[in-house]
Structure 1
Amino acid sequence: MRGWWLVMGMCAASASLAADYVPLPGGSFASVIAADNKSAPAQIKPFRLRTEPVTNAEFLAFVRAHPQWRRDRVAPVFADGQYLSRWASADALGASELPQQPVTRVSWFAAQAFCESEQARLPSWYEWEYAAAADAHRADARSDPAWRDRVLDWYSRPSNTPLPLVGGDADVHGVRDLNGLVWEWVDDFNALLVSGDGREQDGADKVRFCGAGAANMQQKENYATLMRVAMLSALKASDTTNNLGFRCARPE
């Protein structure tokens, strides 16, 4: 029996490494968060991004291969009490959680550990925002009011409804489900609202986003993206939520 579980773990690791990653060219990008805290664009190196969010089935294979990340074994410092609470048990999804739904209720620590198992990492905010700006025909569709309205409409939907399956329409890069499915962890989530001035770097500095404090943010018409910045910056690395998942990235 022990040998069977070892084989299963090896198969899970092999399947994990086979996940699809596509190249994105990078370049100069006008982020909602200026690189110099004023107006400078972000400079993004070419990278590869997972085409879809990590699914329940993929994360289940991961925790079976790495049992320290089971919800009944994970150290409290690495995940809150609701970690993987949507699953029926520590090693089974149950009837209400489908294998091809995006996994949620995962902490930043757990997401990073999964990405490392794919020889990858979580994307940076700039990488994620750059990829999420695309639609099926354009690398940057953010100036299109219809694109902004579709994204904002999803953000306004209740978060307690069942999640769709992964596998939506691909964008111009071949990436799916960046908008309209789940929120996603990024590597530097806890630094998004820290000032570029070292004298002001006293934590997440979340007050800067609220009300008139948002005046230093770029592209205020792209409100949905600003909402994502505010939400991510309010989290701790051990936090989990019903609509927060992740995908991984690799350097090109």
Structure 2
Amino acid sequence: MFAKGKTTLLPLVAVLSLPFVAGAALPGASDPASLPELVRIEESTITYRLPGEYLVGRTATNAPLEKISLARPFEIMRRQVTAGEYGRCVEAGGCLALDTPQDAGMPVVGVNWYDAAAYAAWFSRETGETWRLPTDREWSLAAGSRYRDDALTDIADAQDPSRRWIALYEAETARGADIDPTPRPVGHFGSNEHGLFDMGGNVWEWTDSCYLRHRFDPVTDAESVVENCGIRIAQGSHRAYMTTFFRDPKAGACSVGIPPANLGIRLVRDEPGALQLLKTWIGL
């Protein structure tokens, strides 16, 4: 009886130890050779500003800067999803077709937030792993030196808010003039210190973070945050606030500021917990 019990427990021990083995694949997952190359972000510290609108009383101003560091490691695709990879999701019925044909080897563009989320859900089913869009904070930490603060002006005038509007318009116009809208091949914009390709290039990447309105009351020190998930954050050479269902950012889809040149996808892979590994092992 004792020997039989030991034999039964061995697979469970093996399963529970998998998260601690670097590069271990889930039982039943796709061939690791067919998966996109991943980068494990172990350490990163940046000066970060919370996304969205920040109000002190009724005065619009910049959210305060803060130094943030990685709380725990995570894995992210080294490059963006290509049009060919997205096309396989379309063929499988997991994604909606693109509006125009695209070169299979180029980063996919012309996708809205729902397309990006659908691709992550389909890819999770295909691989038996959990893939998702990164949060704005995760994307920024992964971008490292390629992360760009989206504050364009320090003007905050309660008596004359038009001064800030004019300064923002001028800064955004100047920034938008520098953007080349033509999609480029994978690796065109080089890699950052983590080895990630094209972070901050001209294909913005959808995140899972919603637009936020922060309000701070200087009289009571009370703070409040209102979330609007009809607008999501896209990250590229600057932070962009995008209506979720638009595929073409040049068609009036940008909810705040200068629109990005293109919209694409890069996913994060979540590490499975022991319970999920056990369920996968026994086929649940």
TM-score (ref. length: structure 1):
0.58
C-alpha contact (below 8 Å) 2:204/2:237 kept by paired residues: no
Which of 47, 64, 76 is matched with 2:91 structurally? 64
Match in the other structure for 1:32: 49
> Structure 2 vs 1, CA of residues 157 and 46 (structure 1 numbering), >3 Å: closer, same or farther?
same
Q: C-alpha separation between the residues in 2 aligned to 1:107 and 1:15?
A: 28
Give matches, 1:1-252, under 5 Å: 18-26=35-43, 28-33=45-50, 37-44=63-70, 45-65=72-92, 67-71=93-97, 84-87=98-101, 97-116=102-121, 117-118=123-124, 119-134=130-145, 156-159=178-181, 161=182, 163-168=183-188, 169-188=190-209, 190-191=210-211, 193-195=212-214, 199-201=224-226, 203=228, 228-229=238-239, 231-232=240-241, 235-241=242-248, 243-251=262-270
C-alpha contact (below 8 Å) 1:121/1:250 kept by paired residues: yes
C-alpha contact (below 8 Å) 1:16/1:58 kept by paired residues: no
C-alpha contact (below 8 Å) 1:49/1:250 kept by paired residues: yes
C-alpha contact (below 8 Å) 1:24/1:47 kept by paired residues: yes
* Cα shift at 1:177: 0.8
C-alpha contact (below 8 Å) 2:136/2:208 kept by paired residues: yes
> Structure 2 vs 1, CA of residues 32 and 16 (structure 1 numbering), >3 Å: closer, same or farther?
farther
Compare the two structures and name the one with the higher helix fraction. Answer: 1
C-alpha contact (below 8 Å) 1:133/1:141 kept by paired residues: no
> Structure 2 vs 1, CA of residues 167 and 174 (structure 1 numbering), >3 Å: closer, same or farther?
same
CA deviation string 1:207-237 (max 9, x = no partner): xxxxxxxxxxxxxxxxxx89833x22xx222
> Structure 2 vs 1, CA of residues 250 and 26 (structure 1 numbering), >3 Å: closer, same or farther?
farther
* Cα shift at 1:59: 0.3
Counterpart of 1:248, as a letter, is: L
Compare the two structures and name the one with the higher strand fraction. Answer: 2
* Cα shift at 1:17: 5.9
Report the 3-state secondary structure (helix = DSSP H, G, I; strand = E; otherwise coil) of the residue aligned with 2:36: coil
> Which 5+ residue runs of structure 1 have no aligned equivalent?
1-12, 72-83, 88-96, 143-151, 207-224
- For the pair shown, which has the larger CA radius of gyration, 1 or 2? 2
CA deviation string 1:15-40 (max 9, x = no partner): 89611111002455321328x95344
Report the 3-state secondary structure (helix = DSSP H, G, I; strand = E; otherwise coil) of the residue aligned with 2:238: helix
**Matched residue count:** 180
Identity of aligned residues (%): 23
